[in-house]
Amino acid sequence: MSDEESQEPELSEKQKVEIAKWFLLNSPAGEIQYVAKDVKAVLNDEHVYNMAVSEAFPVYNKSHMICLEMPGRVGDVLVTSFGQLNENEYLDPRTAQVAVVDHVKQVCTEVRPANDEELPSPYIEEFRCALDAEITKYVDEAYPKGVSSVYCTNGKDVEGPGSDFELVVVISAVRHSPQNFCNGSWRSLWNIEFKDDVQMLEVSGNMQVGAHYFEEGNVQLDAQHECKDSTIFQSPDDSAISITNIIRHHETEYLASLQVLNMALLMVNCFTV
């Protein structure tokens, strides 16, 4: 058989992009920039590389719920699908600001005030703001490196009692410690359905822990847990306290269960040290 016949066929541009995207999207928390450098060197093709990162970074940033500082030190914005207004604009409900994000560089390039139509009604904002305040206090206590945000995902135009609406709590915490060969992340999403007709709040949670250990090896942990709970529909302040207590209970319980595993125990310590 000749050398030409034994050679494997050259990958197409589309195949190269898909392979590059796979590596980028599977980067451990906080490490996509390092992976991108290696991918760029291996590809040795600027056009293919740019195609891959332009598609992969927005997906990665939203799935990892990265936190970026807004220009002028006006606050931080979480990059999530819940706050996404268009391809590069993300709402920070706490400051009523909209951040323009450069996904590949993972920075905010500019910020503007949110328009009225991008914000919830005063009635919904009362519930959202009260919950945001309670969640902020909880996250400050539980996750030293944590950030949070509360979004209205349904019924943001509701003007008063008599209609249902939904809020989502997002909590994100990262701990990058490359000098100790350890990076970790905590992400939790809590969907709260305010059901006015039955005067109940339905709470659904999804918690995810990720860790990467690379001292004399390469070990990754990716654990996930879902749960449901409920409480009664009360005033904004009382509802906020009840919801936060539910979230605190389930997250504490889940983290405690992870301590059964030695690797997960190291991960938990990563957030409490």
235-260: per-residue pLDDT in tens? 999 999 999 999 999 999 998 887 76
Ranges of CATH 3.30.1140.60 domains, the chain:
7-63, 67-113
d(CA 200, CA 239): 10
Separation in Å, CA 33 to CA 24, 165, 167, 185, 223: 9, 38, 32, 16, 23
Residue type at 98 in one-letter notation: V
Crossing angle of helices 46-63 and 13-25, in 10° steps, is 30
Query: Which CATH fold topology does 7-63 show?
Result: Ribosomal protein S3 C-terminal domain (3.30.1140)
Please give, one letter per residue, the 3-state secondary structure of the chain: CCHHHHCCCCCCHHHHHHHHHHHHHCCCCCCHHHHHHHHHHHHCCHHHHHHHHHHHHHHHHHHCCCEEECHHHCCEEECCCCCECCCCEEEECCCCEEEEEECCCCEEEEEEECCHHHCCCHHHHHHHHHHHHHHHHHHHHHCCCEEEEEEEEECCCCCCCCCCEEEEEEEEEEEEEHHHCEEEEEEEEEEEEEECCCCEEEEEEEEEEEEEECCCCCEEEEEEEEEEEEEECCCHHHHHHHHHHHHHHHHHHHHHHHCCCHHHHHHHHHHHC
Where do the CATH 3.90.1150.210 domains begin and end in the chain? 120-272
- The pLDDT of residue 217 is 58
Model confidence band, residue 12 (pLDDT cutoffs 50, 70, 90): confident
Q: With cut-offs at 50, 70 and 90, classify the pLDDT of residue 263.
A: low
- Name the CATH superfamily, with its identifier, for domain 67-113: F-actin capping protein, alpha subunit (3.30.1140.60)
* β partners of residue 94: none
pLDDT in tens, 147-205: 999 999 999 999 999 999 999 999 999 876 656 556 778 999 999 999 999 999 999 99
pLDDT at 127 over 80: yes
- CATH class held by domain 120-272: alpha beta
- Confidence at 30, pLDDT banded by 50, 70, 90: confident
Of 115-124, 140-149, 192-201, minimum mean pLDDT range:
140-149
Q: Provide the pLDDT for residue 26.
A: 85
